[in-house]
Structure formats: structure tokens, C-alpha cells
Amino acid sequence: MPTPSRPDPEQPPAPGPLARIADLREGEGVPLLLSVLLFGCLLGAWYCLRPTREVFGIDSGQVYNELWTWTAVVTIALTPLFGWLVSRFERRVFLPIVYLGGAALLVLFAFMHGRLEGEARERVGYAFYVFVSVLSVFATAVFWGFMADGWRDEQARRLFGLVAVGGTVGALLGGVVAAALLDLFESIEGLGPRDLIWFGAAGYVFAACLVPPLSRRFEARGGGSDAVPIVEATEPTGWEAALDGFRLFVRSPYLILIGVFLVGQTMASTFLYVESRAFTAEAFPTRGVAEAVAQSNRIARGEFFAHVDIAYNTVALFIQLFLVGRLVRWIGIGVMLATLPLVNLAGFAMLLGTPALWLYGLFEVAQRGSRFAVMKPAREMLFTVLSRDEKYKAKQFLDTAVYRSSDAGWAWIEYGLSSAAAPVGLTHGLLLLACGAWTGVAWVLGRRNTALRDGPTFTTGARHEL
């Protein structure tokens, strides 16, 4: 199917003060606003659901090794099917189906969790944890595919930063809404973290409603048919694309090095996540206490997680708005990548002392804030020196198979250490050594990226081996 023609990239600047701040060109204002609102709705919905997911995860017995294994299995199994479906449906049809279907299943989970009791309710919470974790991955992935299809490369370079900021604002507002609602639920008998699901589902419904007008704007600007699929029909999809991504990954030492860095990231986040949830469960017990106390403690858990989300999204928004561009110029990609392992090095060192709930919360804010606001932009820049196939197919393999499987693997290692009653000091000591090695990987990766970018053979889209 032919790709719609694109207008001349040399568009005149759009009128108005916002255009000067955002470097907007004529005709880009409304599509950009809709893109920002769409991403804001998606992340707002997710951060409204996150406190509920965390509460359900603790109520399920904190079996994160099992929860993350199922999340990895479902994500990896669905990725080829998802790619095949994306390539065969119109974008204005496929995205609303994903978002409305997700909202419908969220409502079903809320309904079932409210009607069941005991072990059956815990199983529903278990399934909800896996489902919403997978949904967040695919909802975001299809959004960025939509953006890549609707905006030209030159426009993406100017505008995607603003779209990302809009998503962070939506995430921040989602956390604020969750915290405010949980505070309200404390005074209303029968309401609790489960009822946040209804608001998360509403966010996905709003997102679905924004897709058709944005799709029409993209098509009007491109002058083509509205039946253009998100992925070109000639592109391999399904298992073929997944295997292509695996082949590209194992043949490139540079991509393998990115994979090693990603494994270090999942190691640190997994151990902090599991430890902090266990500490939260002890601080706000729900077993062996009266039901009224248990419900109050569930709300308190949800409020704690919501406030952590608010704090780290505030940090991320500030860095995105004022520091990211300067950091690239001031310290370079290698140091930006090393920021996350250094934060984890300091955090696990602090936990060697006397752990406290506020310390776990502060560590999580610092870890996730540096991850999303500093490390992630630097990590995305690592792919700019690669070929188109490596940017999309190999990156997809990294972001799904490598990321999810290493998540699950570290969860099982943590489970093994805790089952063997390994001293916390020993575990944190090993983590400090691992974070030191991870910092070295970040430094080497930054130097390799600079060598590729500055090398005499570098051209955009060229293939590079190290």
C-alpha cells in the first residue's frame, strides 16, 4: 500500500508565541496538541493504575518471581502477534481497539475483584498485575508507532521532546489524582485502591477518543488515504520480525553491550522494587488484623506508592524541561548513562545502614527519576548510529525479550537469596559490586557511541559493528 505524500518540510513558522518556544511550523499546532493529550491520557491512566497494581501485588503474597515470569511470558508471546495485527489494520481502527479493549478488561477486573472474596480475589489481583503490566507496554508501543507514522523525521526531532513532556505531565497528574482519590476513599466505607481501576479505564477511553481526530489531521497534512497501516505491508512482522531482531542483536557487539547495560538496569530496579514492597507490607500489615484496619492499610500503601510516583515524575519533568539538552552538551552520553548506576550505588550503600520506609521511597524517587529523565534519553541516543533495521527490530527485541526476561530472572535470583536467608548486608554488598561494574559498562558504551558517531565511516542509517 503506498505511503501518503508528505508536505514540503520547509514550512513557514506558525504564528503566535507558543510557536517560537516549540519551533512549530504552520499546520503543526493542532496535531501536536492532540499528540500531547493522547500521550498524557495514556500515562495518566497508567499512573492511576500503578498504586492498585502495587497493592494487589503485595496482597498476592509478593510472589514477584512468578508475577514477572508470567509478565515476561505473556509479553514475549504476544509481541509477534501484536506486530502482525498492527501491520494489517488501519491505524484509526487498531489503536481505539487496543485502548477500548484494555479499558473493557480493566472494568471486568474491577467488577470481579469487588464480587469475589478470599483466595479467588487474590487470584484476580494476581491476574490484574500481569495484565496491566503487559497493557502498559503495548499501549505505549503502539502510540510511538503511531507518532513515527504520522510525523516526518525532521518534525519528530523538533516535536517529540514536547510530546514526551506531555506524557510526563499526564503521569504526574495521574499520580496526583490517585493520591487525592485514595485520601478521599479513607473517609468512605467500602472504597479502596480497587476503585482507582475505574479512573484508569476512563483514561484509556479518552485516549481512544483522541485517535480518530489525530489520524484525520495526519492524513489531511499528508494528503493520503486513511487506510495506511502503522507498519508498511512489505515489512516482516510476527515471528519473522522477532527473529530478525534476535539475529541483528547477537551479531553486533555494540547491541550486546546495550543489552548488558539493560540487564544491569533491571537488576537494580528489581532488587529495590522487591525490597521496598516487602518493607511496605510490614509497615502497613493486612494479614492478622481486623478487616477495617487491613482496608485502611491498603489505602495507606496505595497513597505511599502514589506519592512516590508524584515525586519522581516531578523530578523527571524538571529535568526534561530544563536540563536534558544541556546535560548532553555538558557531560556527554557516557556520563548520562552512568548516572543511573551511580545513583543505585549510593542508594544501596545507604540501605546497608538502618532501612526505613522514607529511605526506600527516596531511593525509588532518585532511581526512577534518573532512569526516565537522564538515562533513558541517553539510551535512545545510542540507537541513532545504527541502521534502520537495528533501530526498530533489534531495539524491539531488547525492549521486550531482553528486558522482560532479565526482569524475571533477577526476581528469581532475589527469591533464591531470600529463601536461603542470605543476610541483607551480603546481598547489598554484592549489589554494590555489580553497580560498580555496571558503571564501567555505561562508560564504555558512551565511548563506543562517540567513536561510532565521530568515525570516518559514520552516516545516518549505516550499519556498524565493533
Tens digit of pLDDT per residue, the chain (466 long)?
A: 334 434 444 555 555 555 555 667 777 788 889 999 999 999 999 999 999 999 999 988 888 999 999 998 998 888 777 767 766 777 778 889 999 999 999 999 999 998 988 889 999 999 999 999 999 988 988 888 788 777 776 776 677 778 888 889 999 999 999 999 999 998 888 888 999 999 999 999 999 999 999 988 887 765 333 434 444 444 555 556 667 778 888 888 999 999 999 999 999 999 999 999 999 999 898 887 888 888 898 999 999 999 999 998 998 888 877 776 677 677 778 888 999 999 999 999 998 877 888 999 999 999 998 888 888 878 877 887 777 677 767 777 888 788 888 989 999 999 998 888 778 788 888 999 999 999 999 999 988 888 877 765 444 333 333 3
Rounded-to-integer distance, Cα 150 and Cα 39, Å = 14
* Contact (Cβ atoms closer than 8 angstroms) between residue 391 and residue 245: no
Quote the pTM value: 0.83
CATH of 23-235, one of 1.20.1250.20, 1.10.468.10, 1.10.10.920, 1.10.10.10: 1.20.1250.20
Rounded-to-integer distance, Cα 223 and Cα 6, Å = 7
Let me know how many helices (H) and strands (E) the chain has, helices first: 18, 0
Three-state SS at 88: coil
Nearest to 347 by CA among 318, 395, 312: 312
Please state the domain extents for the chain: 23-235, 238-466
φ/ψ of residue 229, rounded to 5: -70, 165
Strand partners, 90: 229
* Contact (Cβ atoms closer than 8 angstroms) between residue 282 and residue 275: no
- Is the backbone of residue 53 left (phi > 0), alpha (psi -120 to 50) or beta? alpha
Whether domain 238-466 has CATH 3.20.20.70: the reply is no
Rounded-to-integer distance, Cα 259 and Cα 241, Å = 18
Rounded-to-integer distance, Cα 288 and Cα 290, Å = 7
One fold for both 23-235 and 238-466?
A: yes
The alpha carbon torsion through 420, 421, 424, 427 (nearest 10 deg) reads -10
Query: Which distant-in-sequence residues (6+ apart) come within 8 Å of 353 by Cβ?
Result: none
